[in-house]
A and B are shown apart, each in its own frame.
Chain A
Amino acid sequence: MKNIGIYLLIFFFLMRCSSKEEEVYTPVPYALEIPELFADKLIAPIIPSDNPLTEEGVALGKKLFSDKILSGNQTQSCADCHKVKEAFSDSAAFSLGAQGILGKRNSMPLFNLAWNFDERFAWDGKEFGLENQVIEPIVNPLEMHGDLKEIVKKLNEHNNYPALFQSAFGSSKISPDLVAKAVAQFMRTIISANSKFDNFLLGKSTLTVEEENGFNIFMSEEKGDCFHCHGSTNNPLWTDNKFHNNGLDERFIDLGLGAITGDPSDNGKFKTPSLRNLIFTAPYMHDGRFSTLEEVINHYSEGLQFSETIDPLMKSVHQGGVDLNEEEKAALKAFLLTLTDEEFIENPAFEN
């Protein structure tokens, strides 16, 4: 009988502990769907342990991404320069900021960012980690020109946001850190992996002869030699996420990575953009100098400019480039267009 009393006491004690645990709020984990090819070929995406994806966090990030409240004068959202229909880029070479001032670089497309393994973001790699990258355009005077203190104040006084942050992070006290975490969560869910070429690799689609020829030019060291920087069937990101001087200029107006590292050997180096969704992401290069894919291909074929930091992979710089004939150029373009993911820009999960 004495034992029964002890058991009851222990049971009561455990029940109390259990009730306390239930009081700790936990948002619902977000099940990130990793595309089959990515899962098969690549290492796991980068998701910081202090910012796991949650249903509430991703939803909040999506809302913030499209909310003008993040700009200084509340006239501009992230989505204004990163439009879903343009693969989260901007068709203008330079986007207009909240103050009506033109930016200095082309808006980078946003997708597959969780697979940027080096975690250096932006054309010049100035931000390490997606959470840091989120804040940069918010405070950049040429972009959203926001004041974080003011933005956080407005969010805290907002009718809905405190409750949404409470759901996402268990805290209704909104901070810049939580804003960055929410938007970064949403950005990690922006995935593009359903192009014709993806389906070809999965055995669900076939390529035309021209597309296949284009792919062979892309993969040939003697022809296009695009694969060293732009990935391959085994790196379906179609970027190495590194920084290269690809022979755009003899002299630099924009130092790119060099301005960040202070190392002259990095001058003129910019991040390799992914070749996915090119049909939606014109104009091309960090300064949007090329309006068409033909111009881009012509650049690599006969337009390379020598400078001291040109990447050694731009092997034929003294001949102007890899010298493709018209048929080869057309084939290369045809292949590049097989990396178009129509479903991606129509995905309702990205629309607010």
Chain B
Amino acid sequence: MKKIRYIFFISCFLLTACSEDNDRFLETVDVTFRFTQNWKGIPITASDFNEFKFTNQNGDLIGIERLRYLVSNITIGSVVKDYQLIDVGEGTGLEFVVDEVTKGLKTLNFTFGFKNEDNLEGSYQDLNSVSFNVPELLGGGYHFMQFDGKYKDHNNQDANFNYHVIRAADNTDPTNVILEDTSFEVDLGELELNSSTVIEIKMDVSEWFKNPNTWSLQQFNTRLMPNFGAQKLMEANGQSVFSLGEIKFN
């Protein structure tokens, strides 16, 4: 009987001790990711759509009508969210919370679009359900961005543009489509997390038309999905689109 009592007390002591250790080492916080969009620093929301109110580097006057884009492998420290579709026009997907990120210095990065290994034909039901797919003739998988609107053409007429970013596909020979991964990594550096935090990730939409390639909508406006060269230019311009915005510690 004495022996049993002894073992019971020892066990209680050990379990209590373990519990205290866990609390100390696994203290976690919630991290909210908030995606915002701007044009050279001026915020863009759905209320700015459908009006000719932006001028790109090439001098094309444009109006935005649809803007939705995909980011994946959103990583903070060792916590990874698989992907997120942001639809600016519908105001969906702009914000999400990652729970239980341990405190401390964390790296922050994500992929614009899907890497080849994640860009799997028809595999994501939520993306299929909002018709974000790319035809198999162009290698399948998903759009990285669907950015539609109008610009003023040389005759000052309203003309349509479809700036659709996908994995580059050369289907000159439909029996041998050549694919090139045009997703890219966005590294936002390191962040010290001591409490629940809201992290703003900014997209400067004007950069898609600017750097390093001055984008002429008079030249590249529609039918860009099967245009391998245009997709490569988009990939290059996308590199400077995202930046870290406001950080709020709660």
Residues on A lying within 8 angstroms of B by beta carbon are: 41-43, 115, 117, 216, 219-222, 227-229, 231-235, 240, 265, 306, 308-318
Contact = CB atoms under 8 A, between A and B. Distances in A.
Contacts of A318: 157, 159
A240 B130 contact: yes
Interface residues of B, number: 34
B70 interface: no
B77 interface: no
Nearest to B164: A221
Contacts of A117: 129-130
Nearest to A230: B131
Contacts of B226: 220-222
A315 B224 CA distance: 11
Given A222-B226, A312-B65, A313-B148, A43 B131 contact: no
Interface of chain B, main secondary structure? mixed
Contacts of A41: 122, 125, 128-129
7 contacts: A117-B130, A220-B137, A221-B226, A234-B121, A240-B130, A309-B50, A315-B160
B66 A312 contact: yes
Given A312-B65, A312-B150, A315-B160, A221 B223 contact: yes
B131 A313 contact: no
Interface of B: 49-50, 65-66, 121-122, 125-126, 128-131, 133, 135-138, 146, 148-150, 157-162, 164, 221-226
A234 B128 contact: yes
A95 B136 CA distance: 41
A160 B126 CA distance: 43
B122 A234 contact: yes
A314 B136 contact: no
Contact of A219 (B122, B135, B164): B135
A43 B125 CA distance: 5
A233 B131 CA distance: 10
B219 to A, nearest CB: 15
Contacts of A315: 160, 162, 221-223
A235 B137 contact: no
Nearest to A41: B128
10 closest Cβ contacts across the A-B interface? A265-B50, A312-B148, A315-B222, A219-B135, A312-B160, A234-B122, A234-B128, A221-B225, A234-B133, A240-B131
A42 B130 contact: no
B36 to A, nearest CB: 22
Nearest to A225: B223
